[in-house]
Amino acid sequence: MHMGEPHWPSTRRAWVVTGVLTFAYTVAFLHRIGLSLFVEPIRRDLGLTDTQIGLLTGAFFAVPYTLSAPLAGWMVDHLRRVRVLAIAAVIWSIASGGGVFSYASLIVGRVIAGAGQAVVQPASASLIADVFPPAQRATGFGVFVAGTAFGTAAAYLAGALALALGVRWASTLGVADWQAALMLVGVLGLLVPIAMLTIREPIRRERSTEKLPTRAVFHFVRGRAWVLFALFAGVALTFLAPYGQLAFMPSLFIRKYGWTAEDVALRFGAIAVVVGAIGSVAAGALSAWLTRRGSATASWTVCLIGAVASLVPGALAPLMPTGVLCLAMFTVSGAFANFAAVAVLAAIAEITPNEFRGQVTALYTGLVGLLAAALGPLVVGALNDHWPGSGPAIAGSLSVTFAACAIGSVALLLAGQSEFRRLKLGVVGSAPGVNPPG
Q: 5 in a domain, yes or no?
A: no
Q: How wide is the angle at C-alpha 313 spanned by C-alphas 316 and 228, nearest 5°?
A: 125
- Those residues of the chain that have pLDDT short of 70 are 1-6, 155-171, 173, 208-214, 388-391, 427-438
Would you say 299 and 243 are in contact if contact means Cβ atoms under 8 Å apart?
no
pLDDT at 432: 38
Count CB-CB contacts under 10 A for residue 187.
12
Would you say 346 and 287 are in contact if contact means Cβ atoms under 8 Å apart?
yes
Range of the domain at 189: 11-197+217-424
Q: 246 in a domain, yes or no?
A: yes
Would you say 167 and 177 are in contact if contact means Cβ atoms under 8 Å apart?
yes
Q: How wide is the angle at C-alpha 206 spanned by C-alphas 201 and 210, nearest 5°?
A: 115
Q: 349 in a domain, yes or no?
A: yes
User: Residue 142 and residue 146: Cα distance in Å, rounded?
Assistant: 6
- DSSP letters for 310-357: HHHHHHHGGG-SSHHHHHHHHHHHHHHTTHHHHHHHHHHHHHS-HHHH
User: Residue 207 and residue 2: Cα distance in Å, rounded?
Assistant: 9
Q: 211 in a domain, yes or no?
A: no
Stated as kind and residue range, the H or E segment containing 235 is: helix 225-257
Q: How is residue 370 annotated by DSSP?
A: I
CA dist 294 to 55, 77, 118, Å?
Answer: 45, 30, 34
User: Residue 337 and residue 283: Cα distance in Å, rounded?
Assistant: 10
Tell me the per-residue pLDDT of 64-100, one tens digit each, with 9 for 90 and over: 998 999 899 999 999 999 999 999 999 999 998 887 7
Q: 187 in a domain, yes or no?
A: yes
Q: At 88, which CATH number?
A: 1.20.1250.20
Would you say 374 and 58 are in contact if contact means Cβ atoms under 8 Å apart?
yes
Q: 341 in a domain, yes or no?
A: yes
pLDDT at 377: 85
Would you say 144 and 18 are in contact if contact means Cβ atoms under 8 Å apart?
yes
Q: 437 in a domain, yes or no?
A: no
pLDDT at 431: 40
Q: 41 in a domain, yes or no?
A: yes
pLDDT at 327: 93
Whole-model pTM: value is: 0.77
Tally of domains in the chain? 1
